[in-house]
Structure 1
Amino acid sequence: MTEIPSRARVVIIGGGVIGCSVAYHLTKLGWQDVVLLERKQLTSGTTWHAAGLIGQLRASSNMTKLARYSAELYAGLEAETGVATGLRQVGSVSVALTAERKEELFRNAAMARAFGVPVEEISPAEVKERYGHINLDGVKAGVWLPTDGQGDPANIALAMAKGARQRGAVVAERTKVTGITREGRRITGVSYDGPDGPGHIACEQVVNCAGMWGHQVGRMLGTNVPLQACEHFYIVSEPIAGLTQMPVLRVPDECAYYKEDAGKMMLGAFEPVSKPWGPIPEDFEFDQLPEDFDHFEPILEHAVNRLPMLADAGIHTFFNGPESFTPDDAYHLGLAPEMDNVWVAAGFNSIGIQSAGGAGMALAQWMEDGQKPFDLGDVDISRMQPFQGNKTYLADRSTETLGLLYADHFPYRQKATARGVRRTPFHHQLLENGAVMGELAGWERANWYANPGQEASYAYSWKRQNFFDNVAAEHRAVRENVGMYDMSSFGKIRVEGPDACAFLNYVGGGEYDVPVGKIVYTQFLNDRAGIEADVTVTRLSETAYLVVTPAATRQADQVWMQRHKGDFNIVLTDVTAGEGVLAVMGPNARKLMQAVSPNDFCNAVNPFGTAQDIELGMGLARVHRVTYVGELGWEIYVSSDMAQHAFETLYAAGRDMGLKLCGMHMMDTCRIEKGFRHFGHDITCQDHVLEAGLGFAVKTDKPDFIGREAVLAKKESGLDARMVQFKLRDAEPLLYHNEPILRDGEIVGYLSSGAYGHHLGAAIGMGYVPCKGETTAQVLASSYQIDVAGVRVAAEASLKPMYDPKAERARS
């Protein structure tokens, strides 16, 4: 019987592959008093029935790094622990049945090269050479990843559990967590019911690795962990004569993958409309769900055609087992926003085996250092909004997210389910004028505007989509006349109290001891001078500031400030929903503002970077003279009760001026022409603020702020990389992000963001280029190309904004 201690440094809840990995990696870092509690047996939830696919390529460089680490770890576990992981590097073939999927696969192949993953684009004939059993009907091309593999999921978990035990961890099975004790924002202890009866462990940290139970365990711990269990299907054939080791085959256009295992063939499905499942029975352990052959049959019909040998092979096993899926198909990792010592590693969206090693390593290092080891924004639990824990929302969204894993991953693709939760005050007015909505953090936002008679919906493609000309017209309006767009979804956090100025001067890199009405563009830095937040800060009074953040990072930015509050006498309040915000931008923006308000908008009264209270129509507003599109303009903040009146007033006054309603896509195309950074893409917690080209926003003459020493050290040592803006010399290709950057014929990096520059007349990209010891002239003297789906396209490079480099238009 396992003896459970009364105290622990950390309690890990859940003994699947993720919990075992976290325990393994914490003990590897030297942590003592590590306790893992599993309600039934290790691996008995989802891990035991996982397919065990281990792919190397993920959607970002850091996620790819973690997947690669998993494969390398599993390869060495048997020698360390004596437990065989069954790891085989069999490679994988993915095939395209449409031209659009071919472009996606070839873009992924280019991305793989940028991330250092071996890859090869292959013809249909070469697909057949690597996978002789396939029927090539409809196959247009493929991609070969030789380092992909497969393994034994349960043994991988058990090997890591054994490794953790060997270094002193306590792993207790049949021990269910029943409750917690709590003081403020910290868990102080965990209660359990085990084989010897109930008990309690006093602890310093808790990690929620409860898999499909993660949502309810999260609630017990006072945290929000949005995930939903769904039915997930595969079949295993009877033994097939002559079947030998094969690569993994993926046919995403038929929602299917194929894996050879001990002379049998496994066919797995990612059906377009999935089936949420729950509640989970109390006695659930190594269980499966009832068969639903009707649900699986369409995929099986395609499979029998794609692999004719399946037509003669009997079905040995029809398996339906639950797995957990998150609202955005990215797993949850990190410190829960609601608590200061509750960590999460859950919701792995059917990629738990290939992710577990890397995720456990990253989380353990984060717990050890108190900060992320590198950018984990894709999976940071802080990205989730509070409402996303709603069970009705989760069930609705999960019907789509499972299938999206194998759907076409078109740029700008919007979720179709669980929509309409958060709406700005202008929502219906925008819809009445042709707005086509996208969704971000639950907010419905106008992304572009359809013309009269045009269908107000997306027609997705990797080429020019149906909104391309619409966005071009919106772009021209902002560059040449005046446009208006809704920014209400952007986060608004009030920082108030007698220490507000001192607190912001500590947590941020800028100088905030400024006159009332002054706006400061700034970053919150970590100890490495990486960028944790990219915000504007407006001084509203002697003791109050407004911090404006991207919509997706409002919660993360507020939590960052909360965790660095210390003894500062301040209060933080989310006021996002209290004000609607309309941006009026373009050369004629001042003319429109003067038509709706008696206030003075001249440079002497309201210069760039200042705010003022105004009358607007019959109401009141506050205007901020800033821009994210590089033009003269104002962001107009108006209380929600007067928001619709403000819209009506501005829209009526602008009609005779040719005012054009614009969307978020326009904002992105304009900002990239101006070289403005996009948080989460161009700037992250691992990007040094000086290498990002944002040193102008950091005031090192301040005596003490987070990241100051790292800024000074970088100034002394010099830059290792610089953010460069690129313009393709060919006007036809499109850029999105992750396209490889070639310098003098060699891959040196990848684009962090990309969009079409309608004014500049070609696609624009931004990305970091290594430059240690180099001058500006040396960086720019090179020849640059961007790899677009395998085609190298010549590019012009610039370290200054290609549009209005002196920012004269915004200050006019």
Structure 2
Amino acid sequence: MSLPQKARVVIIGGGVIGCSVAYHLAKKGWKDVVLLERKQLTSGTTWHAAGLIAQLRATANMTKLAKYSQELYWSLEEETGVATGFKRNGSITVALTEERKEEIYRQSAMARAFGVEVEEISNERVVELYPHLNVEDVKGAVHLPLDGQGDPANIALALAKGARQNGALVKERIKVTGIAKEGRNVTGVDWVADDGSSSGHIECDMVVNCAGMWGHEVGRMAGVNVPLHACEHFYIVTENIEGMTQLPVLRVPDECAYYKEDAGKILLGAFEPNAKPWAMDGIPDTFEFDQLQEDFDHFEPILEHACNRVPLLAEAGIHTFFNGPESFTPDDAYHLGLAPEMDNVWVAAGFNSIGIQSAGGAGMALAEWMDTGEKPFDLGDVDVSRMQPFQGNKQYLYERSKETLGLLYADHFPYRQKATARGVRRTPFHHHLLEQGAVMGEIAGWERANWFANEGQEREYQYSWKRQNWFENSAAEHRAIRENVGMYDMSSFGKIRVEGPDAEAFMNYIGGGDYSVENGKIVYTQFLNRTGGIEADVTVTRLTETSYLVVTPAATRLADQTWMMRHKGNFNVVITDVTSGEGVLAIMGPNARKLLEKVSPADFSNVNNPFGTAQEIELGMGLARAHRVTYVGELGWEIYVSSDMAGHAFETLHAAGQDMDLKLCGMHMMDSCRIEKGFRHFGHDITCEDHVVDAGLGFAVKVDKGCDFIGREAVIERKESGPKNRMVQFKLTDSEPLLFHNEPIIRDGEYVGYLSSGNYGHTLGAAVGLGYVPCEGEKAADVLASTYEIDVCGVKVKAEASLKPMYDPKGERAKA
């Protein structure tokens, strides 16, 4: 077996994504690209994929990648001579409930903002396009004329051929058996031929894990966490149906079903609510183009609905009943990017049944990232560093995967919480909050109080696209923060300690703020990339001459810590995750000072403890650290307490607040308060591709602090040229509609962007959103001189626009 002894990159896995990564790297001119496939190309999951190729995804950048995939597959046949079977036959999604109708109409509005051709269509038009459909109970439908379908295996084989034509080596029947590591780098891979005739080692500069449902196992070999699990996935294919002509792809999510016409037959597939995880004891070594055991009982309810929905199915014979495995991730988003545990291991795996439509764009994006060392645009939705270490736990993956397959077609209600694999991470206040009526949500495994139920009220979400059952609960919590005093748990936020002789110099290099401050000072700041985009949005407290505490969002702690580790260079610092060491209670509202004075002898005055400073305090019979900072725009403190004293701190504060009408609050309140203040939310309003000046956060970057820092030149340049986009706050003039995110922004009648986040402003009395408006060469006054509307579910609603926070624009309340 002739394999090179050295390569620039070894790609493990020859499914559609491995072939796409090889293709795109080779097209970029990379030499010594080696792809190794354990059996035959496409023999894992790709060969039995349904091959649906849609354009619209949940975010603008995921849509960009899906559109790229389509265009690539369109041109591959001409480039390689391999027929991809790609055709643009369009797609229809129908809604059987009013709630689903709102969902697909909101998606339709979002598509317009993303530049995807879309139309809401009548039942009569549905029947014209899909004459076999029973539309009696159809409430609404959406048509995307440029969606399509293709031949999954041939798409992968075309990509493989294109990779070979550009110099890549693609080898089948070679299994990777081990990965050699040195520190945070892999140095090579061990391989063995499938027939055992030969084996060897390839030295390499980097590895890409494209191993699909083997991705978790290959990740472990490389020392990285790739949380995914295989589930059984079912479809049937009918016998030939006489007179059947080309049809659009049809999705009926309320019946968990999709329909694809292919060569005069219909393929009916399912994403059932309770999935069947597969291969808990590992995938058989012999697995190649394998089918799993039929389970007709499991599929029968789907088929029963389908025979009513498309009556000709009842007459058509079943040619194939198919069950094959597909891999699913804990949050239904695939894994892409540089693994946080290693500095040269890349991941592209776990595609949750959308591998064909995603692979072209994902391969392009990863190749670009590998080539330049910088993400080509925000990939936060799929960046593998969003996964927490515990999410690689096999039992966790088994439990969660039962749900994630079905969630693809479940109602995608706002605030929807996962039901499985819950309760893994709990804050020190968990049982105290439950005793007081907390209704928990989950993020990054953390159980967090999202809202508090009243006595006698059911402690559960009742989901809707309208006002949900907790709307008034959260409004009351919001009012308590604005008018009196509230307390909420912020323990899940990431806490990273940076200490060592070079701590100050390192912080000044990694972040845009000025960290040469006195002990106890809190600096709000961003970590930037070379182009001035925002990699992290954090608060940094100087604890001592040689130590700082960096506080990050719960979901990005690992990504933010990894960013710091990768840029540590020769700075003599130690970077440690200390999140679980302290509980944090936020005490916020006009009467926050009064409450703290009841439980502590410390001086909380503006003279001793001004906004943006921290002090050590006594609290009850224990000790704590009080940070005067706010994410809700009110007078308040975040109280950091070591985990052993956290229960005492909660009980002390809660008891002291009883005669003040202290209200326990949840995360929904925090989000509605912060959006009234125009405070940005990382991952939605600010990402690695949003320039810090455009985001309106230039004030937090100190270009004249006397040293270089990452992104400095890009900030100076943009401050001189002026922003290309401006972050604008919008308030609907109608108090009824709700905003979530991705609703299109219409400026003077033209679609110009979309909301990055939205919530209800209970103090402002209407829904509020944030979003970027392109404004290159314009002054601030020009942006505000326009008229604005927001497209909510197809209805244009007038909106007021502001560049300053609509609530407390001068920030006087936090400094009271």
| Partner residue, 1:575 | 578
- Distance in 2 separating the partners of 1:513 and 1:641: 32
**Matches of residues 399-438 of structure 1 in structure 2 within 5 Å?**
399-438=402-441
Superposed CA deviations along residues 710-758 of structure 1, whole A, max 9, x for unmatched, are 0111122221110000000000000000000000011000000000000
Alignment of 1:555-704 (within 5 A): 555-702=558-705, 703-704=707-708
Q: Does 1:732 align with 2:736?
A: yes
Q: Deviations over 1:407-429 (max 9, x none)?
A: 00000000000000000000000
The answer to whether the 8 A contact 1:85-1:159 is kept is: yes
Letter in 2 for 1:311: A
RMSD over equivalenced CA pairs, Å: 0.5
Match of 2:253 in 1: 252
- The equivalent residue for 1:795 is 799
Q: Which amino acid aligns with 1:526?
A: N
> The residue matched to 1:357 in structure 2 has which SS?
helix
Verify: 1:349 aligned to 2:348, yes or no.
no
Alignment-derived partner of residue 212 in structure 1:
213
Residues of 2 paired with 1:639 and 1:550: CA distance?
19
Q: Which among 383, 386, 396 is matched to residue 383 of structure 1?
A: 386
CA distance in 2, matches of 1:550, 1:529: 20
Q: Which amino acid aligns with 1:199?
A: G
Instruction: Give the Cα separation in 2 of the matches to 1:126 and 1:582.
Output: 55
Look up the equivalent residue of 1:706 and give its one-letter code: I
Deviation readout 1:44-97 (Å, 9 max, x if unpaired):
000000000000000000000000000000000011000000000000000000
Give the structure 2 partner of residue 149 of structure 1: 148
Aligned to 1:757: 761
Matched-pair contact (CA < 8 Å) for 1:253–1:406 = yes
- Listed as ranges, the matches of 1:488-499 within 5 Å are 488-499=491-502
Q: For residues 667 and 775 of structure 2, what CA distance do their matches in structure 1 show? A: 33
Give me the whole-angstrom Cα distance separating, in 1, the residues matched to 2:304 and 2:289.
29
C-alpha separation between the residues in 2 aligned to 1:778 and 1:184? Answer: 54
Q: 1:617, 1:170 → 2: CA distance?
A: 68
CA displacement 1:539-571 (0-9 Å, x = unmatched): 000000000000000000000000000000000
SS for the counterpart of 1:329 is coil
Is structure 2 residue 445 aligned with structure 1 residue 442? Answer: yes
Q: Which among 299, 303, 306 is matched to residue 296 of structure 1?
A: 299
Q: 1:523-538 residue pairs with structure 2 within 5 A?
A: 523-538=526-541
What letter corresponds to residue 464 of structure 1 in structure 2?
R
CA distance in 2, matches of 1:182, 1:771: 49
1:222 aligns with 2:223: yes
1:767 to 765, 768, 771: 771
Distance 1:13 1:637 in 2: 45
Residue 589 of structure 1 aligns with an amino acid whose one-letter code is A
**What displacement does 1:128 show?**
1.1
Aligned residue identity for 2:725: A
Question: How many angstroms apart in 2 are the aligned matches of 1:353 and 1:145?
Answer: 18
More displaced, 590-599 or 130-139?
130-139
Q: Does 1:107 align with 2:110?
A: no
Name 1:367's counterpart in structure 2. 370
Matches within 5 A, 1:228-377: 228-278=229-279, 279-377=282-380
1:297-334 CA distance string (max 9 Å, x none): 00000000000000110000000000000000000000
**Residues 1:398 and 2:397 aligned together:** no
Shift of residue 138, structure 1, vs aligned partner: 1.1
Distance 2:783 2:179 in 1: 56
TM-score (norm 2): 0.99
- 1:261 and 1:712 map into 2 onto residues whose CA distance is 56
The answer (yes or no) to whether the contact 1:250–1:258 under 8 Å persists in 2 is: yes
Matched residue SS, 1:656 = helix
Q: Output the CA distance in 2 between the equivalents of 1:711 and 1:389.
A: 38
Structure 2 residue corresponding to 1:512, chosen from 515, 520, 523:
515
Cα offsets for 1:254-275 (capped at 9, x unmatched): 0000000000000000000000
Residue 657 of structure 2 aligns to a residue whose secondary structure is: helix
Counterparts of 2:76 and 2:606 in 1: how far apart (Å)?
67
1:421-476 CA distance string (max 9 Å, x none): 00000000000000000000000000000000000110000000000000000000
Measured after TM superposition, the shift of residue 137 of structure 1 is 2.4
In structure 2, how many angstroms separate the alpha carbons of the residues matched to 1:127 and 1:637?
58
Aligned to 2:172: 173
Asked if 1:472 corresponds to 2:475, the answer is: yes
Distance in 1 between residues matched to 2:782 and 2:38, nearest whole Å: 60
8 Å Cα contact 1:127-1:141 kept in structure 2: no
| Partner Cα distance (1:425, 1:336) in 2 | 30
Structure 1 unaligned runs (5+)?
A: none
What are the Cα deviations for residues 601-639 of structure 1, in whole angstroms up to 9, with x where unaligned?
A: 000000000000000000000010000000000000000
Aligned mates of 2:296, 2:808 — CA distance in 1: 61
**SS at 1:582's partner residue?**
strand
Q: Give the distance between the partners of 1:147 and 1:19, measured in 2 at CA.
A: 26
User: How many angstroms apart in 2 are the aligned matches of 1:807 and 1:129?
Assistant: 57
Contact kept in structure 2, 1:521 and 1:535, CA below 8 Å: yes
> What whole-Å deviation, never above 9, does each CA across 1:249-297 have from its counterpart, x for those lacking one?
0000000000000000000000000000002110000000000000000
Q: In structure 2, how many angstroms separate the alpha carbons of the residues matched to 1:623 and 1:317?
A: 65
Give the secondary structure class of the aligned counterpart of 1:422.
coil
**2:154, 2:301 → 1: CA distance?**
33
Q: Secondary structure at the match of 2:143?
A: strand
Aligned counterpart, 2:11? 12
- Report the alpha carbon displacement of residue 247 of structure 1 after superposing the two structures with TM: 0.1
Check the 8 A contact 1:123/1:140 in 2, yes or no: no
The separation in 1 between residues aligned to 2:90 and 2:528, in whole angstroms, is 41
Is residue 503 of structure 1 aligned with residue 506 of structure 2? Answer: yes
| DSSP 3-state at the match of 2:660 | coil
Matched to 1:227, the amino acid is L
Letter in 2 for 1:99: E
Residues 190 and 202 in structure 1, CA contact (< 8 A), matched pair in contact too: yes
Q: Which amino acid aligns with 2:80?
A: T
Q: Secondary structure at the match of 1:86?
A: coil
Structure 2 unaligned blocks of 5 or more: none
Offset at residue 123 of structure 1 (A): 1.6
Q: Distance in 2 between matches of 1:124 and 1:604?
A: 68
SS in 2 for 1:730: coil
Describe the SS at the equivalent of 1:556: helix
Instruction: Please give the per-residue CA displacement for 1:367-401, whole angstroms capped at 9, x wherever unaligned.
Output: 00101000000000000000000000000000000
In 1, Cα distance between the equivalents of 2:26 and 2:711?
30
What's 1:779 paired with? 783
- TM-superposed CA distance for 1:124, in Å, is 1.5
d(CA) in 2 for partners of 1:180, 1:271:
37
Helix, strand or coil: the match of 1:285?
coil
Aligned equivalent of 2:115 = 116
Q: Distance in 2 between matches of 1:536 and 1:125?
A: 56
Paired with 2:723 and 2:608, the residues of 1 have a C-alpha distance of 39
Which letter does structure 1 place at the counterpart of 2:94? V
